[in-house]
């Protein structure tokens, strides 16, 4: 400030005021920055704490408690849900048993419910073992069994929630099962408490990330059960052995020309054998077939022709004729064998060792025993109904004679396979499919 004639300079006061304001403004700006930094640090601490709490909460939800399946599912968008990329997971193969009678096949893609696949995913979601959705899980299945077909060894593979703490890309740790101090989830026990009685997981195995349930399978084995009655087992065994080797099975399947262009498959084993079960003197028997892969309805077509040979209405040599697609390019029309007795028994893989905890194994044995007893009780009811039928002596002679004539007619009406009307050949089907594809492209 300057002094002139004992009076103050008003301009100097203004400058001092401006300097004070600028100093105060700088101080306030710095303070705001400090507060923002402190706020960010506090938010980071709170977020970390919440993530740990949510992880513990989700970890507890995948437990062996009896109230597991009654827990409320976390809805999408729930603020308490944890992002899927922060959840520990591992690639797992599951071995599944199911009784297929009430299901519309294994696959849920046919949009016919119920299916085994849809029931399995309901259980995975209910137990919170599924991370994200089906598309995110890298899901694969070994086989697509048809409506009514059962299995004791179907295999699927997908990513499931895990106690594994290794990085997601560490496939060695996932396969070796290094989960730190905590044991891995008991997948068999947890899922079986959420599945219906006719579906059970019977084992699980860690799997490498390049594992595929369909393409990694090197062998599949099927069993087909039947009552011997008056069938010629020796003739059926001789005929069935002709399937062994690599053949074109287009005359023993339902052709899917749009998706399948090669119908050559390798069968490595075939056997006809009696089982331990029998009923009123009739022996239960089984066909056992093993191969690398099978076509749509291939087993049921093979069995249908074998039954004709066992009944004596077709010769053993008809197998050779039908396998020769140059000599027989078109499949004769014949009915499929029933789907109910068909069982996918095993799917075989290299370096996949399925396991099950002692507690889960004991629960499985108890469940299968109880289910078996239940079905035997149902069988007893049908046997009781059979005993209560009118005795044959009460049936009039006219009715019995008519029944006998009808049976004779049915037996006499068998048309040899090679004399029957035929389905279009593969080439004829493919030629019809090409114009349809062109029309679709133009549209």
Length of the chain: 443
What sign does the CA torsion over 23, 29, 32, 33 have? negative
Structure tokens at 101: 């009678």
Q: What is the DSSP letter of 319?
A: H
**Quick check: is 282 catalytic?**
no
Question: What is the C-alpha separation between 287 and 249, in angstroms, rounded?
Answer: 18
Q: What are phi and psi of 324, to 5 degrees?
A: -85, 90
Question: What is the C-alpha separation between 210 and 203, in angstroms, rounded?
Answer: 20
Question: What is the C-alpha separation between 253 and 232, in angstroms, rounded?
Answer: 24
Q: Give me the DSSP letters along 45-74.
A: HHHHHHHHHHHHHHHHHSS--TTGGGSPPP
3-state helix, strand, coil in the chain (%, to 5): 40, 20, 40
Which stretches of 236-329 are assigned E, i.e. beta strand?
Answer: 245-248, 264-279, 282-291
Question: What is the C-alpha separation between 127 and 64, in angstroms, rounded?
Answer: 10
Q: What is the DSSP letter of 420?
A: S
Listed in sequence order, the residues at least 6 apart from 164 whose beta carbon sits closer than 8 Å to its beta carbon are 88, 89, 90, 173, 174, 177, 178, 179, 184
Listed in sequence order, the residues at least 6 apart from 133 whose beta carbon sits closer than 8 Å to its beta carbon are none
Question: What is the C-alpha separation between 342 and 346, in angstroms, rounded?
Answer: 12
Catalytic residue among 5, 136, 146, 256: 146
Whether 156 and 213 have beta carbons less than 8 Å apart is answered as: yes
Contacts of range 71-80, beta carbons closer than 8 Å, 24 or more positions apart = 73/125, 73/126, 73/128, 74/128, 80/54
Q: What are the catalytic residues? A: 146
């Amino acid at each position: 400030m300057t002094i002139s004639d004992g009076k103050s300079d008003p301009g100097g006061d203004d400058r001092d005021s401006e300097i004070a304001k600028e100093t105060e403004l700088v101080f306030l700006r710095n303070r705001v920055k400090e507060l923002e930094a402190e706020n960010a640090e506090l938010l980071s601490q709170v977020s970390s704490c919440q993530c740990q709490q949510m992880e513990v909460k989700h970890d507890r939800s995948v437990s062996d408690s009896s109230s597991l399946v009654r827990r409320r599912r976390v809805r999408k968008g729930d603020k308490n849900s944890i992002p899927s990329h922060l959840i520990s997971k591992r690639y797992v193969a599951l071995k599944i048993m199911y009784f297929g009678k009430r299901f519309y096949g294994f696959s849920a893609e046919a949009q016919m419910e119920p299916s085994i696949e849809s029931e399995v995913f309901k259980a995975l979601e209910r137990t919170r073992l599924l991370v994200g959705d089906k598309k995110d899980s890298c899901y694969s299945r070994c086989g697509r069994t048809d409506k009514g077909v059962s299995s004791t060894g179907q295999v699927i593979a997908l990513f499931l929630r895990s106690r594994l703490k290794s990085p997601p890309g560490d496939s060695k740790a996932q396969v070796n099962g290094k989960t730190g101090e905590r044991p891995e989830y008991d997948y068999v026990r947890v899922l079986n408490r959420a599945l219906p009685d006719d579906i059970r997981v019977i084992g699980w195995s860690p799997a490498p990330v390049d594992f595929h349930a369909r393409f990694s399978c090197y062998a599949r084995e099927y069993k087909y059960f039947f009552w011997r009655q008056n069938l010629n087992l020796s003739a059926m065994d001789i005929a069935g052995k002709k399937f062994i080797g690599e053949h074109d099975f287009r005359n023993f399947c339902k052709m899917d020309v749009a998706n399948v262009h090669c119908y050559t498959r390798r069968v490595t084993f075939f056997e006809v054998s009696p089982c331990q079960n029998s009923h009123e003197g009739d022996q239960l028997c089984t066909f056992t077939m093993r191969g690398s892969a099978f076509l749509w309805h291939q087993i049921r077509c093979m069995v249908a022709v074998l039954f004709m040979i066992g009944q004596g209405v077709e010769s053993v040599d008809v197998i050779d004729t039908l396998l020769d697609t140059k000599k027989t390019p078109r499949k004769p029309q014949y009915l499929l064998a029933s789907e109910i007795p068909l069982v996918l028994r095993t799917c075989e893989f290299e370096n996949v060792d399925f396991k099950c905890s002692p507690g889960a194994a004991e629960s499985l044995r108890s469940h299968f025993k109880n289910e078996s007893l239940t079905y035997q009780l149902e069988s007893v009811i049908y046997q009781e109904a059979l005993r209560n039928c009118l005795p044959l002596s009460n049936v009039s002679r006219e009715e019995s004679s008519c029944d006998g004539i009808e049976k004779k007619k049915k037996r006499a009406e068998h048309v040899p396979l090679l004399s029957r009307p035929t389905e279009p050949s593969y080439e004829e089907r493919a030629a019809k499919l090409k114009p349809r594809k062109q029309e679709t492209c133009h549209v």
